Structure 1
Amino acid sequence: MIKTNLQNIHQKITMTALRCGRDPKEITLLAVSKKKTVREIEQAVSVGQNFFAENYVQEGISKIKLLSDVKLVWHFIGSLQSNKSRLVAKYFDWCHTVNSLHLAHRLNFQRSGMPNPLNVLIQINISNEEQKSGILLKELPNLAQAISVLPCLILRGIMAMPILHHSNERQLVAYHKMAEVFQQLKDTYPSVDTLSLGTSSDIDSAIIVGSTMVRVGTAIFGTRG
């Protein structure tokens, strides 16, 4: 099932990208493996999936250790508390949920001494929802500038969560705004190349507006138990 699902998603990504004049190779499929077993992840790896995302620090680290003999790229996409930042800095390759200068400074300090900087995305709360993490768009310039000079972090771009209760039209308006901001960030910082936008429920909308990374869990692994 996982193999077939991955094939179907790659086909969907390719068809959507070509339909809107984009190169499918510009889009990275990130497999969200939260609550999934190492065996399920290995099934995805067996058909060429190398990019995985976890929401919970300890669960993710357990899988990273068990799969350490496989060359995989691990992304942390969950809400990150300061007391867990050391573990993300040590074990993960990417953090998608940087939402304060305080957190950025902690990750930078805790990444020091490691061979590679930590790739970071700034999380944007595009709908100003109280229950969601992320900064407001007006806060982005200052935070981006501050992160760009931290030696143990690389600012790669921005991330946002979907607004599931909105209509497709309203969702696209918000996503187009994210795409505009992403382009402005790219024009300012050479390291920026990633717009992490889109999940199992809205891959098409995300690709249409320019997402370079889609986070897919259910459509690959099935519903979580």
Structure 2
Amino acid sequence: MTSSQAQGIAERIDAVRTRIADAEARFGRAPGSVQLLAVSKVQPAQAIRTAFEQGLNAFGESYVQEGCDKQADLADLPITWHFIGRIQRNKTKTIAEHFDWVHGLSDLRHAQRLGTQRPAGRAPLRCCLQVNLSGEASKAGAPPEALPELFEECSQVPGIEVEGLMTLPAPADELDAQRQPFAALRALRDRLATPTRPLATLSMGMSHDLEAAIAEGATMVRIGTALFGPRH
């Protein structure tokens, strides 16, 4: 990686941090209440190292083997690794062994496999349940009406911990339209949460709509393009 490429990543990280801080202030959120998850899929390990040197320590990967290869290359760094891709049955063991978080859990069978395959001695695998708010058949996630049962069942699985909810809404251009699905996810969380199971994480918002997500209570935004530039 050239020095100009590294400088570009550093500048984009600063710009995204500014956007997050501005949105927190604009929408009455506490400073620092929104975590930046860097989506590093298809980015080289050196780009992740550069981002880590700029203070980022949480990275999201969508492809299991690619993520594992990067973990090996960056084993000297205390990174928290999030699996943000679609879960496949034949990949659950590798996910359970190598990742700290899973976004996109929407199948009890996957939850049970991940819990069973989580190595003994490691902290439970932290999970977000994915909700399909748009009803699009092409998108993963549980329908809202199935969420209460899924949450109850997954909460009983040893080896995993249900931390919150996640969604990937259909793209929209206007702020009000972007806010609607995020508000719906927050409302679902508020109905399900209890003092002992607060579902504190709302993983929602990406490069184009992070302000709308923060306005509606996001605690974690998943940012790739705005940090690393367009994917090749």
Give the TM-score, by structure 1 length: 0.96
Aligned twin of 1:62: 69
Q: Amino acid of the residue matched to residue 103 of structure 2?
A: H
Contact 1:157/1:185 (<8 A) preserved: no
The structure 2 residue matched to 1:163, chosen from 170, 175, 187, is: 170
Aligned pairs for 1:6-45 (under 5 A) are 6-45=13-52
Could you tell me which runs of 5 or more consecutive residues in structure 2 were left unpaired when the two chains were aligned. Answer: 1-7
Per-residue deviation, 1:163: 1.1
Aligned-pair identity (%): 36
Aligned pairs for 1:179-194 (under 5 A) are 179-187=186-194, 189-190=196-197, 192-194=199-201
Aligned twin of 1:104: 111
Q: Amino acid of the residue matched to residue 218 of structure 1?
A: T
Give the RMSD, CA atoms, in angstroms: 1.4
Aligned twin of 1:93: 100
Q: 2: CA distance between counterparts of 1:210 and 1:180? A: 10
Aligned twin of 2:185: 178
Per-residue deviation, 1:13: 0.4
Does residue 1:83 correspond to 2:90, yes or no?
Answer: yes
Does residue 1:47 correspond to 2:63, yes or no?
Answer: no
Aligned twin of 2:120: 113
Q: How many residues align?
A: 225
Change (3 A) 1:114 1:191: farther
Contact 1:30/1:53 (<8 A) preserved: yes
Q: Describe the SS at the equivalent of 1:199.
A: coil
Q: Describe the SS at the equivalent of 1:187.
A: coil
Q: 2: CA distance between counterparts of 1:57 and 1:189? A: 32
Per-residue deviation, 1:191: 5.1
Contact 2:167/2:203 (<8 A) preserved: yes
Per-residue deviation, 1:211: 0.5
The structure 2 residue matched to 1:219, chosen from 216, 226, 229, is: 226
Aligned twin of 2:204: 197
Per-residue deviation, 1:183: 2.0
Does residue 1:154 correspond to 2:166, yes or no?
Answer: no
Deviations 1:104-123 (A, max 9, x none): 00101001414211000101
Contact 1:17/1:207 (<8 A) preserved: yes
